[in-house]
A and B are shown apart, each in its own frame.
Chain A
């Protein structure tokens, strides 16, 4: 319904009232009684939440000792940390339009309070993400958890989007977790049912993803808060399409990988997709579906919240959500093949500085010259991972234990006290108080700024209550272009790192030793070292080799062993037909077609979810024992002949894909 429609509807209701005025007094009484009842019934439970998260019942287990590449991290945590001034207005209006938990009246869109709530989401997400980082860092191997703070931006082409500030997402990782907290935009509803993050209440949202070769039917989407799942799938599809087309066309521009929350806010009137969902407690865990982490308004321990400014040794968010969530993350990590999960990301990481090796990577060659070069390259990415892990530690220190954390704890504690007072008043179940509760609680957000204004303490940078993200860019805008940094080399080698550097330069320019410059220098030195040490390889792949798939035309691309211009041996191939359907294959080929052991993802354009085949292939089609995975189904082993399913398959005869590059395991000179 458009705004005009809504107005017309409202007018028609008023007209009806006038027309049947004799009925009016009774109706008004009924409405008021109902309203009063609604308010009162809300009073006792106003602004309440669950005491514990659904994850809190999980028992913490050990992290499995899986062999994986030293280049890879286990988890990258992405979260909103800053917003550019250009994006503020659109971000706030998108936030109001795409409200989760109810409709927001149009009049609320432009309110200052709405803007404050939108801002608080960025600030508090930054703060609470640190709890998740600390917890995962404690249970996972050293240097395997990285932070990836994002800055929210806007431009004409991409609309609202976010991009990472650090290079953490260029490091291969088994899992990527998008984390943010959520609060309903309309503060008038603050004390009622909608999801809120205020005081002791917190509503976390997460999306957990892996490589699309992990649960290929769902594109690698593993866990999601339900409101984000459709947009997450759409973004995933766009990202995959973009990546595949880039590979076919030999273009190397990065796909949009905004935070899932930002990608959700960007959308307008998009339909909710019928994606198969499952709950964490289901016995149906094997089903190819996205595990939903239901939106839950968690109530943290009030006593801990009250003492937060003085003592933050015990983290109330940790107790309420993070401990359980990290247990679930560890369970997921244990259930995945880490080599498989990082295979393509490792290839992409190597491609940034050694395209020749990246092409050979798909062959999984055991040739000594390839092994040796791969070992050097992975050590290089591993060193970057270590460096970024150190950066993440510093961000944690700054955000949680530094001034930022201190301010946030003061604010959360003050919010809690306010909320407690209002709760006490609400418990009196007095209608006048109850209505006032709603009105005044809503004023909390607005009151801050107005009070600050009255006290004439607004800074020149426009800093708001805890306006890190908001305020920062006011001062930065003038500085962005003022410094010339010699980063041409990096710009050529790694545009994304260059971007990262420029942002960090904005943050920290004029310092003697700064992270970004340190990173640029570090990367320069390590790349020089790499280039001075690499030897030529005895294996090479053809630059232009064709991959074929029945009925898909001739437009396929093959990265692997090639004969007479077509795929012939091991490697990775992809093809897109005119309708936009895609086929990706990794494994053995003959005459350009999949033949032998391999894995294939078939994605029909517009279809929700993909179909994945793993096992034997002949002339491009599944042949022999094949494991098939489809959305909403439990993966099954079937017997195929020339692409036709002819019965149940013997799982013992399945030729599973092996992504492990055994030859990369480091040797030692010690006898």
Chain B
């Protein structure tokens, strides 16, 4: 756990220091300058952040025209939401940035998906090494930050918005649960494979039963004896004739009455 936390902190520090987030004004253009792994991470992060954010919630954060007008001034990248400072001192910018981020994810969903597919196709080995859990952990922190910012703002007074926010928060929990399930499933699979491996080829219960419990040599001898009986056919006709005669005599005797004078 501590190890995982260390990795996460290091990753977060790395992300903060590199500060290569999506600038709202540049979108895909800026992203294309980043290394493929980082592009993949950023785009995945945007998709994970935007899940569960419905149109009403986005409109409440900042109407579409406001976002378009203020597009040039919005400079937050997804990673910025992980910094405690911004969460404390600049709630307004954060909400505006969040509105843009969510809107961007919604409007560009197809392009983002296509970009991810392209990056994956061109760099399969690299992408296979991307730690999705780490990205998900970041996404969860960011989603919580956005949700908290909304809940502290005045828009939450609208009951409908509160419901939309609840839905967004539930999606965050779901994301966490899925991540935890994948870790659980990985471990479960390892245990299962290990257990199957430990019995595979060794169970062979009946084999052992014969070899050690039932005494297969003795059984073979019995079987040979049985085969002798099965194949003993040389004098079968003769014996059958005698037996039949005896049977018929017995039948007649048993069914008849002595002729007593």
Q: Which residues of A contact B (CB under 8 A)?
A: 17-18, 21, 24, 28, 31-32, 35, 368-369, 371-372, 375-376, 379-380, 383, 386-387, 390-391, 394-395, 397-399, 402-404, 407, 410-411, 414-415, 417-418, 421, 425, 431-433, 435-437, 439-440, 444, 447-448, 451-452, 454-455, 457-461, 463-468, 471-472, 475-476, 504, 507-508, 511, 513-515, 518-519, 521-522, 525-526, 529-530, 533, 535, 666-671
Contacts and interface: CB of A to CB of B under 8 A. Distances in A.
21 contacts: A32-B251, A369-B173, A376-B184, A379-B185, A390-B196, A394-B200, A394-B204, A395-B206, A397-B204, A402-B207, A436-B244, A447-B229, A451-B226, A457-B221, A466-B219, A476-B213, A511-B202, A519-B199, A529-B188, A535-B177, A667-B177
A466 to B, nearest CB: 7
Given A395-B206, A398-B204, A504-B205, 13 more contacts: A379-B188, A397-B207, A399-B206, A404-B209, A414-B226, A439-B240, A448-B225, A452-B225, A461-B214, A514-B199, A529-B184, A670-B132, A671-B47
B170 A383 contact: no
A414 B227 contact: yes
Contacts of A397: 204, 207
Contacts of B125: none
B192 A421 contact: no
B241 interface: yes
Contact of A394 (B203, B225, B227, B240): B203
A457 B225 contact: yes
Contact of B196 (A387, A421, A514, A529): A387
A372 B177 contact: yes
Interface string B161-202: 000000000100111011111111101110110011011111
A433 B245 CA distance: 10
Nearest to A27: B255
* Interface residue SS majority, chain A: helix
Contacts of A668: 178
Contact of A468 (B43, B132, B196, B209): B209
Q: How large is the interface on B (under 10, 10 to 19, 20 to 34, 35 or more residues)?
A: 35 or more
Contact of A17 (B202, B205, B216, B255): B255
Contact of A403 (B182, B195, B210): B210
Contacts of B216: 403
A379 B184 contact: yes
Interface in B39-58: 43-44, 47-48
Interface of B: 43-44, 47-48, 112-113, 116, 132-133, 135-136, 170, 173-175, 177-185, 187-189, 191-192, 195-196, 198-211, 213-216, 218-219, 221-223, 225-231, 233, 236-237, 239-241, 243-245, 247-248, 251-252, 255-257
A464 B192 contact: no
Nearest to A459: B218
Looking at chain B's contact residues, is the secondary structure mostly helix, strand, loop, or mixed? helix
B214 A395 contact: no
A433 B237 contact: yes
Given A376-B181, A457-B225, A669 B132 contact: yes
B181 A463 contact: no
A522 B221 CA distance: 40
A398 B206 contact: yes
Contact of B257 (A18, A518, A525): A18
Contacts of A670: 132
